[in-house]
Chain A
Amino acid sequence: MATHRLITPLLDADIEKLHSGDEVLLTGPIYTARDAAHKRLLELLEKKRELPVDLRGQVIYYSGPCPPKPGQVIGSAGPTTAYRMDLFTPAMLEYGVKGTIGKGPRLEKVREACVRYRAVYLAGIGGASALLAKTVKKADIVAYEDLGTEAVHRLEVEDFPLIVAYDIYGGDIYSEGIGKYKEI
């Protein structure tokens, strides 16, 4: 499995290189959004209204950080379970989002949407939130501040470690990985 160093926003040429199981070190801006923010974003997309942040070409990180302690850029921040956003993801990818970061397997329609809209689903290290927060160099709330931890944050990350879960070729590390080690 290859390791790729990538810079956001992701280009088509970057995405074409990625295969399920590859490791990625991501640098550049990414945007947090989870359940509550997705609900609002989708309402705007359905009404064909502008989003408060232009997310076309960008990577969405399903994460709700802890409040920072004095001197911290951000509190502990790791990926949340991605399938809760499955309801919204195909529409977000159709709109132009190029990558999503979360943890855990998702519905088949998300894997298919990754192929159709040439986007990737990247798995973060669930529960390594103190370590992952260290890769965040800058954090700003850019929309929905009233949602607290669920607000949309713009994070500048550096060498954020990820694993390609779904690629644009239909690859899925969850079924492939489990298949390899399954004994019963």
Chain B
Amino acid sequence: MRTVHVQKIVDEVARLCQEACYDLPPDVLKAIEAASSSEKSPLGQGILAKLVENAYLASRERVPCCHDTGIAAVFLEIGQDVHLTGGSLHEAVQEGVRRGYREGCLRKSVVGDPLLRVNTGDNTPAVVHTEIVDGDRITLSVLPKGGGSENMSALSFLLPGEGAGGVKKFVLDTVKNAGGKACPPLVVGVGIGGTFDYVALLAKKALLRRIGTYNKQPHLARLEMELLELINKTGIGPLGLGGSNTALWVAVESFGAHITALPVAVNLQCHAARRKLCTI
């Protein structure tokens, strides 16, 4: 049994929130740079070049690369041999978000009630996912999720007979419907299988995967490649103004499903595909 004080969680969540918003992950920056050289539209080339310049500037000056510093999605994989002490884990995560957003001059973009709509002023509540895993370590991931792309995400129950072709059509329709609203070039997280709740989580978890890493299952890796190629033929382009780079990456995660069901969820992520993780 390994003991971890929850203050460590507070400190690490606060740090990850800030670093995620200031520093675009290197794989994402590299993908935007590659898109900038391959882009066919002159307008799109100019936009992508500015996005690269923006990312370097934000990182250098320790300021958010995008003003929408999101609602914080926090993923905790907690080893079953870890014993947390010193207080509530969930309160520690919220306190970490509160501190990270305040001290980092990040925008507070969360309302406490979706209908009454009063800003909580500290970016809480964060959405927290905890999972018990083997071992005695904690993996902590923070994904500040912007509203523009999240709003254009979608979920559907296809007929099992529709298969991979149906999945491709649904993903493509979701991307086309989002157009410029979701700030392309996108990272597209796709969940297939599970249940109503779980398929959406799979799609979100897909966004944690590094660009350039395919799904380990060959048929899903092939699906990722085919989807990326199809999406980049839609012509939507950078910021939806037309061009050959609509997605930087497509990541698919899957799970078993009921014999009657083929659930699919598409979680769109804008080009500011921020995420930061650490192991405690």
Q: Which residues of A contact B (CB under 8 A)?
A: 1, 21, 23, 36, 63-69, 72, 75-78, 80-81, 83, 103-105, 123, 125-134, 148-150, 161, 163, 165, 173-174, 176-184
Chain B residue nearest to A75 (CB atoms) is B105
Query: Which residues of chain A come closer than 8 Å to B98, judged between CB atoms?
Result: none
User: Among the listed A104, A129, A176, which residue makes an inter-chain contact with B64, where contact means beta carbons less than 8 Å apart?
Assistant: A129
Q: In residues 207-229 of chain B, which contact A (Cβ within 8 Å)?
A: none
| Chain B positions near chain A (C-beta within 8 angstroms) | 40-41, 43, 46-47, 50-51, 53-54, 57-58, 61-69, 105-109, 117, 119, 121, 147-148, 151, 179-183, 230, 233-237, 239-244, 270-272
Contacts of B54 in A (CB 8 A): 125, 127-132
The answer to whether A178 and B239 have CB atoms under 8 Å apart is: no
Please judge, given known A-B contacts A75-B105, A149-B108, whether A182 and B234 are in contact too, CB under 8 Å.
yes
Please name the residue on chain A nearest to B47 by beta carbon.
A125
- A148-B108, A177-B243, A183-B233 known; A161 and B50 CB under 8 Å? yes
Roughly how many angstroms separate A173 CA and B121 CA in the complex, as a whole number? 37
Pair A78/B66 contact, Cβ less than 8 Å: yes
Measured in the bound complex, the distance between the Cα atoms of B50 and A134 in whole Å is 13
Q: What B residues does A105 contact at CB under 8 A? A: 179-181, 240
The tally of CB-CB contacts under 8 A between chains A and B is 171
Contact B242 A129 (CB under 8 A): no
Asked if A129 and B65 sit within 8 Å, CB to CB, the answer is yes
Given contacts A103-B148, A105-B181, A163-B43, contact A130 B57 (CB under 8 A): yes
CA distance A180 to B272 in the complex (A): 25
Establish whether residues A1 and B43, one from each chain, have CB atoms under 8 Å apart when the complex forms: yes
**A130 touches which one: B41, B63, B179, B230 (CB < 8 A)?**
B63
Judge whether B64 and A76 touch: CB under 8 Å. yes
**B63 and A76: CB pair below 8 A?**
yes
A selection of 26 A-B contacts at a CB cut-off of 8 Å is A23-B46, A66-B67, A66-B107, A69-B63, A75-B107, A76-B58, A76-B107, A78-B67, A78-B68, A80-B68, A104-B182, A125-B50, A125-B51, A125-B54, A126-B148, A126-B180, A129-B54, A149-B119, A161-B50, A174-B180, A177-B240, A177-B243, A180-B235, A180-B242, A181-B237, A183-B233
Contact B181 A76 (CB under 8 A): no
Do residues A76 and B65 form an inter-chain contact, with CB atoms below 8 A? yes
C-alpha spacing A178/B61, complex, angstroms: 35
Collect the chain A residues with CB atoms within 8 Å of residue B240's CB: 104-105, 174, 177-178
Whether A148 pairs with B119 at a CB distance below 8 angstroms is yes
User: Do A179 and B242 touch (CB < 8 A)?
Assistant: yes
Residues of the A chain whose Cβ atoms lie less than 8 Å from the Cβ of B50: 125, 128, 131, 161
Q: How far is the CB of B112 from chain A (nearest CB, A)?
A: 13
In the complex, residue of chain A having the shortest beta-carbon distance to the beta carbon of B121: A148
* Complex Cα spacing A133 to B53, Å: 13
Q: Are B180 and A103 in contact (CB under 8 A)?
A: yes
Would you call B236 and A178 a contact (CB within 8 A)? yes
Chain A positions within 8 Å of B182 at CB level: 104
Q: B43 to chain A: closest CB distance in Å?
A: 7
Which one, B61, B121, B181, B244, contacts A181 given CB within 8 A? B244
Residue of A nearest to B40 (CB): A181
**A149/B107 contact (C-beta < 8 A), A1-B43, A105-B240, A123-B241 known:** yes
B43-A21 in contact (CB<8A): yes
